[in-house]
Structure 1
Amino acid sequence: MNTADLGLPVAVPSTALFTDQYELTMLQAALRSGTAGRRSVFEVFTRRLPEGRRYGVVGGTGRVLDAVENFRFDETILGFLRERGILDEPTLAWLAGFRFRGDIWGYPEGEVYFPGSPIMRVEGTFAEAVLLETVILSILNHDSAVAAAASRMSVAAGARPLMEMGARRTHELGAVAASRAAYLGGFHTTSDLAAGFRYGIPTVGTSAHAFTLLHDTERDAFTAQVDSLGSGTTLLVDTFDVAEAVRTAVEVAGPGLGAVRIDSGDLLLIAHRVRQQLDELGATKTKIVVTSDLDEYAIASLAAAPVDAYGVGTQLVTGSGHPTCAMVYKLVARADSEEPGAPLRPVAKKSMGAKSSLGGRKWAARRLDEDGVATAEVIGTGAVPAELADRQLLVPLVSAGTVVAREPLDAARDRHIAARDRLPLSATQLSRGEPVLATEYV
Structure 2
Amino acid sequence: MNSADLGRRVGVPSTALFTDQYELTMVQAALKAGTAGRRSVFEAFTRRLPEGRRYGVVAGIGRVLDAVENYHFDDAMLAFLRDQNVVDGPTLDYLADYHFSGDIWGYPEGEVYFPGSPILRVEGSFAECVLLETVILSILNHDSAIAAAASRMSVAAGGRGLIEMGARRTHELSAVASARAAYIGGFDTTSDLAAGFRYNIPTVGTSAHAFTLLHDTERDAFRAQVESLGRDTTLLVDTYDVTAAVRTAVEVAGTELGAVRIDSGDLLLVAHRVRQQLDELGATGTKIVVTSDLDEYAIASLAAAPVDAYGVGTQLVTGSGQPTCSMVYKLVARAASADPADPLRPVAKKSLGAKSSLGGRKWAARRTDEDGVAEAEVIGTGPVPPELAGRQLLVELVRAGEVVAREPLDAARERHIASRAGLPMSAMQLSRGEPVIPTEYV
Mapping 1:320-399, distance limit 5 Å = 320-399=320-399
1:6 shift after superposition: 7.7
- 1:336-372, CA deviations, whole angstroms, 9 ceiling, x for partnerless residues? 2333422111110111100000011111000011111
Q: Which runs of 5+ in 1 are unaligned?
A: none
Whether the 8 Å contact between 1:190 and 1:202 is mirrored in structure 2 is: yes
Match of residue 103 from structure 1 = 103
Distance 2:2 2:397 in 1: 17
Q: Secondary structure at the match of 2:320?
A: coil
8 Å contact 2:7–2:199 — kept in the other structure?
A: no
Matched residues, percent identical?
83
Please list every run of 5 or more consecutive structure 2 residues that lacks an aligned counterpart in the other structure. none
Alpha-carbon distance in structure 2 between the residues aligned to 1:309 and 1:350: 49
- The 8 Å contact of residues 257 and 283 in structure 1, kept in 2 or not, is answered as yes
Q: Rate the CA distance shift 1:2–1:91 in 2: closer, same or farther, 3 A.
A: farther
Structure 2 distance, partners of 1:4, 1:136, is: 23
The aligned residue for residue 50 of structure 2 is 50
Give distance in 2, aligned partners of 1:299 and 1:226: 29
Relative to structure 1, the CA distance from residue 154 to residue 198 in structure 2 (aligned partners, 3 Å threshold; closer, same or farther) is: same
Q: Distance in 1 between matches of 2:313 and 2:364?
A: 35
Q: Any conservation in 1 of the 2:15–2:70 contact (CA below 8 Å)?
A: yes
Alpha-carbon distance in 2 for matches of 1:285, 1:340: 65
Deviation (angstroms), 1:9: 7.2
- 1:182-211 Cα shifts (integer Å, max 9, x gaps): 000000000000000000000000000010
Q: Aligned pair in 2 of structure 1 residues 7, 333: CA closer, same or farther (>3 Å)?
A: closer
Which whole-Å CA distance do the structure 1 matches of 2:7 and 2:332 have between them? 40
Aligned to 1:125: 125
SS of 2:44 mapped into structure 1: strand
Q: How does 1:144-183 map to 2 (within 5 A)?
A: 144-183=144-183
Quote the residue 1:139 is aligned against: 139
Q: Indicate how the Cα distance of structure 1 residues 43 and 202 shifts in structure 2: closer, same or farther if over 3 A, else same.
A: same
- Summarize the Cα distance change of 1:235–1:188 in structure 2 as closer, same or farther, 3 Å threshold: same
Distance 1:262 1:118, change over 3 A: same
Secondary structure of 2:341's aligned partner: coil
Partner of 1:417: 417
Alignment check: 8 A CA contact 1:106 1:394 kept: yes
Partner-residue secondary structure (3-state), 1:338: coil
Cα distance in 2, alignment partners of residues 395 and 227 from structure 1 = 51
Residue matched to 2:433: 433
Partner of 1:197: 197
> SS of 2:228's equivalent?
helix
Q: Distance in 1 between matches of 2:340 and 2:389?
A: 28
Contact 1:2–1:200 (CA under 8 A) maintained in structure 2: no
Counterparts of 1:70-89 in structure 2 under 5 Å? 70-89=70-89
Alignment: residue pair count: 442
Q: Shift of residue 85 of structure 1?
A: 1.0
For residue 376 of structure 2, what is the amino acid of its counterpart?
A
Which SS does the other structure have where 2:334 is aligned?
Answer: strand
Cα pair 1:2 1:199 within 8 Å, conserved: no
Q: Distance in 2 between matches of 1:9 and 1:337?
A: 36
Q: 1:117 to 1:21 in 2, by over 3 A?
A: same
Q: What residue is the counterpart of 1:246 in the other structure? A: 246
User: Does structure 2 retain, via aligned residues, the 8 Å contact 1:3–1:200?
Assistant: no
Q: Measure how far apart 1:282 and its partner are.
A: 1.1
Q: Is the 8 A contact 1:178 1:317 kept in 2?
A: yes
**Structure 2 length normalisation: TM-score?**
0.98
**Distance change in 2, residues 1:4/1:253 (3 Å):** closer
Tell me, yes or no, if structure 1 residue 19 matches structure 2 residue 8: no
CA shift in 2, pair 1:9/1:56, >3 Å: closer
Q: Judging changes above 3 Å, is the alpha-carbon distance between structure 1 residues 322 and 6 closer, same or farther for their aligned structure 2 residues?
A: closer
What is the TM-score of this pair, normalised by structure 1?
0.98
Structure 1 residue 67 and structure 2 residue 67: aligned? Answer: yes
Residues of 2 paired with 1:399 and 1:391: CA distance?
A: 22
Q: Describe the shift of the 1:4–1:236 C-alpha distance in structure 2 as closer, same or farther (beyond 3 A).
A: closer
